[in-house]
């Protein structure tokens, strides 16, 4: 990690403060300094892609072109099995322009109840998905996926994390991402898995 970004900076092509916090925590031990697109005053590109991968590429390349620096983007979301994978790439958009995740979470429950009659009758399986895109100034762009399987719970639990964290329990655990410490979430999250895939591919470490 250190060598590839040596003497340079990595732009994190995001306007999401929760993501910035998580990437900083995960990159700091490696000595990589991150500057977010929001801090640099970069425009937020419209996410016109129909896949996580397409949107991650579009965000990374926009930030790389605007700065001339290598740029890393994350496109991510919650895929609920009982809703055929929704909200998926629309996870941020379900929270509206104000980023109201109480509203987004309420919509998850409303749509499950609409389809299955009650939350109790609905399948609970869900997954958090992240695709990272790393755009280099020489025009190469690489992508790395990460997934964590789990289930959703009806009553939000915990104040930690961001977004849909209070309703998601990863497989093999009893606490939601909202209840876990940041360090514990970062050990197993979709974002951690995507970063591990990136580090492994770029630097042949694990």
- 58-77 residues near ligand Y43, rule: CB under 6 A: 59, 74-77
User: Any known ligand binding at 164?
Assistant: yes
- 74-103 residues near ligand Y43, rule: CB under 6 A: 74-78, 91-92
User: Any known ligand binding at 84?
Assistant: no
Contact between 19 and ligand Y43 per CB under 6 A: yes
Known catalytic membership, residue 138: no
* Minimum gap (Å) between residue 194 Cβ and ligand Y43: 11
74, interface contact from ligand Y43, Mg ion, none, CB < 5-8 Å by kind: ligand Y43
CA dist 156 and 102 (Å) reads 9
User: Any known ligand binding at 27?
Assistant: no
189, interface contact from ligand Y43, Mg ion, none, CB < 5-8 Å by kind: ligand Y43
3-state secondary structure the chain: CCCCCCCCCEEECCCCHHHHHHHHHHHHHHCCCEEECCCCCCCCCCCCCCCHHHHHHHHHHHHHHHHCCCEEEEEEEEEEHHHCCCEHHHCCHHHCCCCCHHHHHHHHHHHHHHHHCCCCCCCCEEEEEEEEEEECCCCCEEEEEEEEEEEECCCCCCCCCCCCHHHEEECCCCCCCCCCCHHHHHHHCHHHHHHHHHHHHHHCCC
Tokens standing for 74? 């994350």
Contact between 143 and ligand Y43 per CB under 6 A: no
186, interface contact from ligand Y43, Mg ion, none, CB < 5-8 Å by kind: none
User: Any known ligand binding at 163?
Assistant: yes
Q: One of 2, 39, 75, 184 is an active-site residue; which one?
A: 75
Nearer to ligand Y43, 39 or 44 (CB): 44
Q: Which residues bind ligand Y43 (CB under 6 A)?
A: 14-16, 19, 44, 47, 59, 74-78, 91-92, 128, 161-165, 177, 189, 191
Q: Which residues are catalytic?
A: 75
């Amino acid at each position: 990690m250190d060598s590839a970004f040596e003497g340079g900076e990595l732009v994190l092509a995001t306007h999401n403060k929760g993501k910035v916090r998580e990437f900083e925590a995960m990159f700091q031990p490696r000595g990589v300094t991150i500057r977010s697109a929001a801090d640099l005053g970069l425009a937020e590109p419209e996410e016109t892609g129909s896949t996580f991968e397409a949107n991650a590429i579009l965000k990374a390349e926009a930030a790389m072109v605007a700065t001339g620096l290598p740029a890393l983007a994350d496109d991510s979301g919650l895929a609920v099995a009982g809703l055929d994978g929704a909200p998926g790439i629309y996870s941020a958009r379900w929270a509206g322009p104000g980023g109201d995740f109480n509203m987004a979470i309420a919509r998850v429950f409303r749509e499950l109840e609409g389809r299955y009659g009650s939350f109790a009758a609905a399948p609970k399986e869900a997954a958090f998905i992240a695709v990272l895109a790393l755009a280099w100034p020489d025009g190469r762009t690489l992508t790395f996926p990460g997934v964590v399987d789990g289930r959703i719970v009806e009553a939000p639990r915990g104040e930690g994390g961001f977004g849909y964290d209070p309703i998601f329990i990863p497989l093999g655990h009893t606490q939601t991402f909202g209840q876990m410490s940041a360090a514990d979430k970062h050990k197993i999250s979709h974002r951690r898995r995507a970063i591990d895939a990136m580090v492994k591919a770029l630097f042949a470490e694990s």
